Amino acid sequence: MKIGLVLFPELTQLDLTGPLEVFSRMPGAEVHLLWKTLDPVASDRGFAMLPTQRFDACTMLDLLCVPGGPGQIALMSDEETLAFLRHVAPGCRLVTSVCTGSLVLAAAGLLEGCRATSHWSSLDQLAMFGVTPVAERVVRDGNRITGAGVTSGIDFALTVAAEMLGEDAAREIQLQIEYDPAPPFASGSPRSADPALLERVSARIAPFIARRRAASEAAAARLRAHP
């Protein structure tokens, strides 16, 4: 069972390391961090991680996963990365993402006509690519499975583990990692957060979301011009 997670500059590390923790505990799984080179890749918080396999050495995957993070903006116009995703996806049992990684899959034309999710702040941008946005932590449509923002990656990965190995195996992994969330505050989603808090956070991130929206618009236009 060969699993590949795309490791790119300025990704949000928990988008990758949450699922990685689950996937690496799946019996028989061979997990790779994929990038163009094997040089260290810095996350959006500044610390580096090491790819384990280059794109050009990866010919087949059972599971492809694209995490999100600020670096996703550049990735949406990175033709080498998009070409790799288009090349490897048809042979995958599951094509997946966490957070705004779904926008990268969409930019590659791999989610058109599907239901999918993303981080709440950018969920609506999926519609630019012919994708139906769904405000849920994990969304499945055929062999596409997408997770919402950041911490949803663990829920997503356990869902994938249940799909590939059965529910009993996924429950064992959940117990091993003591995934028993009980957050101190009910403010982790726009549906539960105080409206004033949501307004304050939305205003703070608005300039960045505008940058992401511009990148999504450009990527969607390219996709329409060269389907």
Residue 184 phi, psi dihedral angles, 5° rounding: -70, -20
> What is the mean pLDDT for each group of 10 consecutive residues in the chain (227 residues)?
98 98 97 98 96 97 98 98 98 98 98 98 98 98 97 98 97 98 95 96 98 98 90
The catalytic residue among 65, 92, 99, 114 is 99
Is 99 a catalytic site residue? yes
Domains in the chain (CATH in brackets) are: 2-225 (3.40.50.880)
Q: Residue 56: its pLDDT value, please?
A: 96
Q: Residue 226: its pLDDT value, please?
A: 85
Rounded Cα–Cα distance for residues 187 and 132 (Å) = 25
Q: By the 8 A CB rule, do 100 and 120 touch?
A: no
Q: Residue 227: its pLDDT value, please?
A: 76
Q: Is the dihedral of CA 90, 92, 93, 95 positive or negative?
A: negative
Q: Is the dihedral of CA 101, 73, 151, 2 positive or negative?
A: positive
Structure pTM? 0.96
Residues 6 or more apart whose CB falls under 8 angstroms from that of 29 comprise 1, 3, 23
